[in-house]
Structure 1
């Protein structure tokens, strides 16, 4: 067992901001299983969603490429080419993707996304794939792919359903997709697969809106929610934020319960001690901070995501635990995951491999000084930023964001973590703005992006 490369499981929720975990300081929510994972693992408390929108983040997490080289906007298909699944397959891994995909480029129109089928060749090279492109309806979730669902049993079948007929899950999405992941885990423990590691992804829509969890988790009351200090005392904003957060926290607690189920299944199958579990989100959710809702903007509640490398591995003394201030970004997830497994990331991945922070004995490297932020193609949805922007957040605690025509935001997060004092137009901070502006220009140049910064 110890000579075998580790298994890997990604678990990600949609629109789960970093602040909404017990271990990260949110007093409203109970997340004991995720908190335990952080206690035994490495918690990246400054993890970033460099383009805080579902499709671009997902394209980058699978390819290690920046959105302008992969998926630049909403409902744009991931281009043909290798993904992390292909790299794992080439290194002897079994691969599986279960849940929300949102990379097929299907344009939602009057519910057609519920029944949209992702063709086999559009599934990112995963050997097993059971999921859906998008639906935003956790209680009416249809999936299709390589799984015999019609019998009511989640038995993986390489041949799958030749017609790819969407099948409605008989309950809350997070619970039922976790059932499929657990069956996949149990299939890996049989004698035939004992020597072959696996890479599995469990991707669920909650805690994305609509914020409506199973009844047993609805303990939150909007009247008792403790808001972040940057939620303005405006009745309509607090009323909406309180209502949404009550359901949001309930869905997070349900997700936490299902994380515990995955850990229990690994333990029961004697796989836990050789499995890396990585928990993260694709972007955050404003929930009234700065009077804003949802995502796409560069505020902390939108760009910060949970990112925890957990585990109960053989040779635990060979792994670092605790908290790191490393600015892991969406493009860094794939190379870091490969690095954890002793696999050299391919040259076409543009991200940074942070695995040495977790695994003792690896050569230490100088951490990137900043992370790159983008909004390339605005969605123009309600509660979204309707202008392209570029920005950076730095390890020394600053954030700078600009539109093409004019600088927009400049915050000193060290003294102002809730971003209530915008320094972008204060001449006292001209030298700081110029330094950050020049560093942002280098990001644009180094990544081959196209964006015209204003003169400062």
Structure 2
């Protein structure tokens, strides 16, 4: 009798393991726009991000994650193809993936071919309808939407006057519900879609636009902050930096009320920082609503959740704004992966200092779902979820062009950032930058390239860069 009981228990255990092995893992990716590591879980004591902090507490937080390019379109294409921008050949904001690569493998294409429902909600690709055939469920991203009638009327007035820039003000705090702005509406659609797909195998991307410009968020999120407590960053540019390392941040200048030349005064700077933080808290609330739905539907136990940003951002550092550079502020991003479905998953937040990249998302999802690994530039991060201290990459790589003639190639080893500005055809090095971030400060202070005291570091970083970026031609699609 005793033996029969033992065998019954063993049979039950084997059956349960078999069921678990056959059960496909779902995927939910929060792809956020223009978010730097301004979150509570990254040590920022001012920002209010309780929902993202909770997600981090249930997974692995990466402190050294990097985007492959500090601009939306190429970065998102790199994320969704698992290929670096130099492999894809798209470096600008205006070239959709499918306009030049009709059959290139993408995350939605691959998972759809393997029986998953693939879902795009909000801003996933920069170009709204790019790669649309690869999605089972697709929601067109909305244009920038304004809650207040006064701003709508202002934009209409600009359009009638024939102005080139008709985007309205750069920030707004209308007293409206979350659904008054597009991220709130995208969230409601994501919640409804989860309910419809609860019995399916799915890979869902939710693209939340905030804190992208304009910094529009319901008033209650602005009220979380006291504008006067925000510190205006130093406007000093890095000493001896490459002349074209920074931009004129025309993306912000396109908005009403922003000076067309020069830096911003302290009052406007604080208004914009206030708007950036309010937008983060608004976005955080939407993440919380979707995660609550995942729990309510009992989907959390077999869903890999990823929270990531397409690139970083400047909020007044160097007297500059937006992204569009190779600086640490523009390419370092938040990355959180939570895999509650895994019995070996940590029960509290673990932190990894490994150098990882956004291009690693595709292979991570493939391995998590036990599928055959395609030929990709990135590599799966699953080993780091099991052991965050495992030996990993020596460098993380990004690039940024200045027109079609100059390509800036950059690498970080977690302590130093080294950049070569090259002729994109001949690969002749026009200028070199070396910045010390070993104190944890993401703001570049002085270009130390060529300094005798740092010759050894510069040589090491140059070798590291050329392992990833050999002297080859960078082709631009017209």
* TM value normalised by structure 1: 0.78
Q: Which of 419, 422, 447 is matched with 1:401 structurally? A: 419
2:318 maps to 1:290:
yes
What is the aligned counterpart of 2:94 among 65, 72, 75? Answer: 75
**Mapping of 1:255-334 within 5 angstroms?**
255-313=283-341, 315=343, 317=345, 321-334=349-362
**CA positional deviation for 1:14:** 0.7
After TM superposition, where is structure 1 displaced by more than 6 Å over at least 4 residues in a row? none
Alignment of 1:357 with 2:394, yes or no, is: no
Relative to the length of structure 2, the TM-score reads: 0.75
Q: Aligned with 1:223: secondary structure?
A: helix
Q: Provide the C-alpha distance between the structure 2 equivalents of 1:5 and 1:359, rounded to a whole number of angstroms.
A: 20
Q: Which sections of structure 2, spanning at least 5 residues, go unmatched?
A: 1-18, 149-177, 238-261, 423-428
Deviation string, structure 1 residues 393-423 (Cα, Å, up to 9, x no partner): 114x211012124334212221362332321
Question: CA separation in 2, counterparts of 1:416 and 1:238?
Answer: 25
1:225 maps to 2:230: yes
Q: Give the 5 Å matches for 1:94-105.
A: 94-104=117-127
Match of 2:278 in 1: 250
Judge conservation of contact 2:344–2:386 (CA < 8 Å) in 1: no
* 2:216 alignment partner, SS class: coil
1:97-126 CA distance string (max 9 Å, x none): 11114444xxxxxxxxxxxx737xx31611
CA distance in 2, matches of 1:209, 1:400: 29
Question: For the residues of structure 1 that align with 2:36 and 2:133, how far apart are their CA atoms?
Answer: 26
With over 3 angstroms needed to count, the CA separation of the structure-2 counterparts of 1:427 and 1:135, relative to structure 1, is farther
Stretch deviating more after TM superposition (40-49 or 234-243): 234-243
SS at the partner of 2:298?
coil
Is this contact kept in 1: 2:314–2:329, CA < 8 A? yes
Aligned length in residues: 390
1:159 maps to none
Partner of 1:411: 435
**Cα displacement (A) at 1:74:** 1.1
User: How far 1:377 moved relative to its partner?
Assistant: 5.5
| Mapped partners of 1:357, 1:124: distance in 2 | 33
Measure the CA separation in 1 of the matches of 2:372 and 2:270. Answer: 46
Is 1:126 aligned to 2:135, yes or no?
Answer: yes
CA RMSD after TM alignment: 2.9
Partner of 1:164: none
Residue number in structure 2 paired with 1:435: 460
Higher-Rg member (1/2): 2
Of the three residues 66, 90, 95, the one matched with 2:113 is: 90
CA contact (8 A) 2:339 2:345 kept: no
Structure 1 residue 239, shift from structure 2 partner: 3.5
Does the CA-based 8 Å contact 1:9-1:199 persist in structure 2?
yes
Gaps of 5+ in 1: 105-116, 141-168, 380-385, 452-456
